[in-house]
Amino acid sequence: MITFATLLMILSFLVMSGLLGWYFFIGYKHKSWLNKVFYMNDAALLEQSESTKKAEFKLKLLQAGLKRSNFNEVVLAGVVAGFALASLTLILDLKPMINFMIIFISLAIATLTPFLYLDEQRKARIKRIENDLAIFLDLLIIILEGGGGLNNAIDVVTVEGKSVIGNDLLAESERFKYEFITYSSEIAYENLSQRTGSPAVKTIVGFMKLSEETGIGVKSIFENQAQEIKDMDMLNVEKRAATMNISLTFTMFIFILPAVIAMIAFPMAADALMPKF
């Protein structure tokens, strides 16, 4: 038992050491170009000739609103948590199968936690952007109806919409406005679509490109897209409301109904088993 646990502990220590070495190596490797990745213009960033995996990873970091240093901190936290869990095989006297399961879980925590965290942050940021998108478009429509241009409308909403729009969409709006003025519209549209990772934003970007090609006003595009987003939100609310009765019924049968039956059956059973009491 002790020998098996010792071998598992040595294996886990080697794996954890390798992960720690990888963490510090990556930190050292990216220290020289970290500022260039996150502070250079998006046009140059997206046009870099790098491997597919590195490009996808950097794009996910942008879509999650994270920096490489944030990801490295999660890697370190996962390694520490996995090592702490693996150390239980030496502290506790457990069966070999349980020790193996603990080591397996600790390795899974150390290796999968950073990427699960990145994926969840990415999904949460996309959700926040899409939740604010309809309000953002409505504000743009109001300014466009007043005779303002698209750049002016984006600038006004970005500056004065902080009370009703989240920081994620406002930051993307400000970066899009800068790129729209500095670079070609094609680059600005492409960067906005890739940075956000939102299907709704990608759809709007596609219609804005079509607007430039056909001469259709962006105001009508924004109106249609804002209404479509509102209709989709209403449909989602109706779906949740329709399934609420099923959820309540399931909860009642699983948790409430057994308790009610127990309250009725136990006193009757007690009277039958102990009539003199």
- 181: pLDDT strictly greater than 60: yes
Torsion 47-53-58-59 (CA) sign = positive
Question: Stretch 137-163: mean pLDDT, rounded?
Answer: 84
Q: What is the pLDDT of residue 161?
A: 83
**Gyration radius from the chain CA atoms:** 28
> What is the spatial distance between Cα 248 and Cα 258, in angstroms, rounded to a whole number?
15
The percentage of residues in the chain with a pLDDT greater than 70, rounded to a whole number, is: 75
Q: What is the pLDDT of residue 121?
A: 93
Written as one letter, the residue type at 61 is L
Asked if 175 and 195 count as a contact pair (C-beta separation under 8 A), the reply is yes
Question: Stretch 139-157: mean pLDDT, rounded?
Answer: 83
Q: What is the pLDDT of residue 120?
A: 93
Q: Which residue has the higher pLDDT, 126 or 273?
A: 126
Whether the pTM exceeds 0.75: the reply is no
Q: Lowest mean pLDDT of 45-49, 183-187, 192-196, name the range.
A: 45-49
- 111: pLDDT strictly greater than 80: yes
Asked if 176 and 154 count as a contact pair (C-beta separation under 8 A), the reply is yes
Angle between helix 68-86 and helix 96-145 axes, rounded to 10 deg:
160
Short-list 60, 64, 212, 234, CA closest to 134: 234
Residue 238 neighbours by CB under 8 Å, 6+ apart: none
pLDDT tier, 46 (very low <50, low <70, confident <90, very high otherwise): low
Q: What is the pLDDT of residue 1?
A: 46
If one counts every other C-beta atom within 10 angstroms of the C-beta of residue 235, the result is 10
Tokens matching residue 164:
């009703």
Q: How high does pLDDT run on average in the chain? A: 78
> What is the spatial distance between Cα 64 and Cα 122, in angstroms, rounded to a whole number?
4
- 134: pLDDT strictly greater than 70: yes
- 277: pLDDT strictly greater than 60: no
Q: Lowest mean pLDDT of 7-11, 155-159, 190-194, 226-230, name the range.
A: 7-11
Geometric angle at alpha carbon 78, from 75 and 84, rounded to 5°: 140
Question: Stretch 259-274: mean pLDDT, rounded?
Answer: 66
Helix/strand/coil for 114: helix
111: left (phi over 0), alpha (psi -120 to 50) or beta: alpha
Question: Stretch 172-178: mean pLDDT, rounded?
Answer: 87
Q: Report the number of secondary-structure helices (H) and strands (E) in the chain.
A: 13, 0
pLDDT tier, 55 (very low <50, low <70, confident <90, very high otherwise): confident
Virtual torsion, Cα 32, 30, 126, 133, nearest 10 deg:
10
